[in-house]
Amino acid sequence: MSAKKVLVTGATGRTGALVVEKLRCFPEEFEVFGLARSPAKVEERFGNTDGFYFGDIRDRSTLETALEGCDALVILTSAVPKMQTPPQPGQRPQFDFEPGGRPEEVDFQGQVNQIDVAQAAGIEQIVLVGSMGGTNENHPLNRIGDGNILVWKRKAEDYLMQSGIDYTIIRAGGLLDQPGGVRELIVGHNDELLAHPPDDIPTSIPRADVAEVVVQALRQPNSHNTAFDIISRPEDDPKAEVTEDFAALFAQAAAVSVS
Ligand SMILES: NC(=O)c1ccc[n+]([C@@H]2O[C@H](COP(=O)([O-])OP(=O)(O)OC[C@H]3O[C@@H](n4cnc5c(N)ncnc54)[C@H](OP(=O)(O)O)[C@@H]3O)[C@@H](O)[C@H]2O)c1
């Protein structure tokens, strides 16, 4: 069997870089390409720029070059809020988006560009990492820079679901920079886990676990056409049973998922 050619966008992001690293551990299974904006950032993170394309998801021509001949696309791009001038002592920090980097431009139009170009290139599967909270228009994250980030992310997910391409949409809870592979992962639907987390656990998950779910989504056929929320039990939770069976996880995801 020939290796699956996979393009990861947002590949210098905190989760995207982990996905690239994990996929590269299986060269017989995956031929991995990254899309990033900054060669310097790629050098710093990976040591060299081998296997990278450079460009911006707002520009379809870069995407066309990068997606040519690929089998699958992993979307890990996101608008990134920046802190405005450092707050005075006692004041809360204010965040905003750079011009051209607002959620409507990145999380919606940028994702739509990727989906459209992927469709034209004959891509078989798109794995998209999104965010929990998208059912609540009044979610505090939507107020950052008046960007409605979760609203635009959700619109892009809807666009993907209607595209006809096989999709896996992983809506993560709060992301943690903690070790992966040591927690039980819990899937849910439409933010129900935010409203009623089991045993009142925090609604969070390590980026490394999200990256592993992305890799497994590319492997497990039953990940196709699922859209689900995901959090984790804390590592020291006595009830936790570390997730190792990803076919079973995607079966649960399919059960809660709606198209
Ligand atoms: N933070 C949380 O707690 C949380 C919770 C749930 C879900 N999520 C979601 O999970 C996903 C991964 O989060 P993360 O924190 O790992 O991501 P991240 O580190 O913020 O990475 C975002 C990536 O998007 C890239 N990007 C932004 N605009 C771009 C453009 N116009 N063209 C090309 N690339 C562009 C950035 O490029 P550069 O590297 O060049 O900046 C960066 O690599 C995101 O969708 C995020 O919203 C986050």
Q: For the residues of 92-138, what is the DSSP string, one character each? A: PP-EE--TT-SHIIIIIIIHHHHHHHHHHTT--EEEEEEETTTT-TT
pTM: 0.97
Question: Which residue's CA is minimally distant from atom 37 of ligand 1?
Answer: 10
Residue 139: C-alpha distances to residues 40, 96, 107, 194 (Å): 35, 16, 16, 11
The residue extents of the domains of the chain are: 4-86+97-256
Q: CA-to-CA distance for 95 and 108, rounded, in angstroms? A: 20
Q: CA-to-CA distance for 71 and 236, rounded, in angstroms? A: 39
Report residue 259's pLDDT band, with 50, 70 and 90 as the boundaries: very low
pLDDT at 86: 74
Residue 196 DSSP class: S
**In this structure, are residues 71 and 125 in contact, taking their beta carbons and an 8 Å threshold?**
yes
What single-letter amino acid sits at 15? T
Q: CA-to-CA distance for 39 and 78, rounded, in angstroms? A: 18
Question: Tens digits of per-residue pLDDT, 141-200?
Answer: 999 999 999 999 999 999 999 999 999 999 999 999 999 999 999 999 999 999 999 999
CATH architecture designation of domain 4-86+97-256: 3-Layer(aba) Sandwich (3.40)
Question: Tens digits of per-residue pLDDT, 38-92?
Answer: 999 999 999 999 999 999 999 999 999 999 999 999 999 999 999 887 777 778 8
**In this structure, are residues 212 and 127 in contact, taking their beta carbons and an 8 Å threshold?**
no
For ligand 1, what atom is nearest to the CA of residue 80?
20
What single-letter amino acid sits at 166? D
Report residue 10's pLDDT band, with 50, 70 and 90 as the boundaries: very high
Percent of the chain at pLDDT exceeding 70: 99
Residues with C-beta less than 6 Å from any ligand 1 atom:
10, 12-16, 36-38, 41, 56-58, 76-78, 80, 101, 106, 110, 129, 131, 172, 174-175, 207
* Helix and strand element counts for the chain (H, E): 9, 12
Question: Tens digits of per-residue pLDDT, 222-255?
Answer: 999 999 999 999 999 999 999 999 999 999 999 9
